[in-house]
Structure 1
Amino acid sequence: MNNDFRPNEAETLFLNLAYNGFYNIFEEIFNDKFWDNDAYYRFAKVNNAFSIYAEVLNYEPIKWVIEAIKVKRPPMEAELGKDLFKFVRNVFSHFPYFTSWDDVWVNKSVVNWNKKGQSIDKFLTRYSGKDEVKYRFWEEEKRKMTYLSINFPKEYNNNKIFLKDILSEKEGVKFSMILMKQIMNSQIVSIDDDK
């Protein structure tokens, strides 16, 4: 492999921290006991996972993977892996007053309170009115297939758009984590268990 494609020292440090943090949250979320925690605890962990993933999307080889997914994977998978997950992260980041997944909502006025045309506004303008996307995922350890729908808002106006109506908490978060992990794993050459 050409060294031009290997992460530099700063990237390596960032990627190690990001991947370790993400994988720790991933493991916790897929433990059934996680869902017994209160809504605020779950929300904080999920928020951290989306934040880590959004930062990893800035790594150039991950951008190449997203472009490849557009061509080689089912329709909308790349858009979900980039646009939807960044939208969720940006809502969490720019409207940090929510304390549970089911409470999170935005509308056109709130989104544009400071400036129009930013990332959340662009996402909702682009995807409102789009058809639902159906997915399924397999949990090997539980021998369980889960089906879910991702529902884009019918309209983007001053009516509340709840995150839970776009993506359910438990199934939606698990699906998101699986897709994020698949995209992130594209950059793994080996795993060192000596931490």
Structure 2
Amino acid sequence: MSNFSPDQIEYLTTCIGRFKKLGQIIFNEPFLEYHPNVRFSTIKDLYSIYNEIYSANFFEENHGSDLRLIEFGEFQKELVKMIRNVLLHFPFFDNWNEVWIKRSLVTLTLTPKRDGTYSGAIEKFFLNYSEKKYAVRLTEYGGNQITTCLIIPKGYENNDKIYLKDIIEERYVGMLSVGFMRILINNFLLTNGLNSLVIPLVETVKG
């Protein structure tokens, strides 16, 4: 039985309904033919919905420790978290290929730790993964499973501009994000007895 109030369930239902719709848009192959600004806006909307679900007060009160215990690689989790924070804190761009960060801006309002590093998902990601190569398995348009290699560019510690397109291509961002968020949200829903809201696999449409 769920510990949520009717209003909380209505809020979750509305958020998840929108999440499903965005996932269906992203996983339809014609999505790649949309204007770059439209594609980017859709991805930002996806992260906004995820952020609302993740940040809501009742979420913190009810999810328990099982929320993060999901079958998803640590690198993928940290990558999605980094993208989420970049889109949240750097809302200045019109399309994916424009998105960049540099360390001095990421840490502008942060207080350094004793070792000279800073807290935060973006800082953590680049300090841990720069100049490394990772294989990421994704569900592609049409439902095919693919593996793509991501190389995290160097230069973050030197305050170079880092473009997110040089980490992951736009065509893979939506696939990665929808897949990860679906697993995370479903884990939360199942843990809290909200089985009726569980998000199914996204049906894909070609052409």
Matched residue, 1:22:
19
Matched residue, 2:196:
190
User: Superposition pairs for residues 1-195 of structure 1, below 5 Å?
Assistant: 1=1, 3=2, 6-58=3-55, 59=59, 60-61=62-63, 64-66=66-68, 68-69=69-70, 73=71, 75-76=73-74, 80-81=76-77, 83-116=78-111, 117=118, 119-129=120-130, 131-139=132-140, 142-157=142-157, 158-186=159-187, 187=189, 188-191=194-197
Shift of the 54–174 alpha-carbon distance from structure 1 to 2, 3 Å rule, reads same
Structure 1 residue 151 displacement after superposition: 3.2
2:101 touches 2:163 (CA, 8 Å); kept in 1? yes
Percent of aligned positions with the same letter in both sequences?
25
Shift of the 41–63 alpha-carbon distance from structure 1 to 2, 3 Å rule, reads farther
Q: Secondary structure at the match of 1:40?
A: helix
1:54 touches 1:85 (CA, 8 Å); kept in 2? no
RMSD over equivalenced CA pairs, Å: 2.6
Structure 1 residue 62 displacement after superposition: 7.5
If asked which structure has higher relative contact order (CA below 8 Å, sep 6+), I would say: 2
CA distance in 2, matches of 1:120, 1:133: 18
Question: TM-score if structure 1 supplies the norm length?
Answer: 0.78
Amino acid at match of 2:66: W
Structure 1 residue 104 displacement after superposition: 0.3
Structure 1 residue 75 displacement after superposition: 3.9
Q: Deviations 1:111-151 (Å, cap 9, x if unpaired)?
A: 12343435255334542436332122345x82522222343
Q: Secondary structure at the match of 2:149?
A: strand
CA distance in 2, matches of 1:74, 1:121: 19
Q: Deviations 1:32-75 (Å, cap 9, x if unpaired)?
A: 11111111110011011012113323424286221x22xxx354
Amino acid at match of 1:64: D
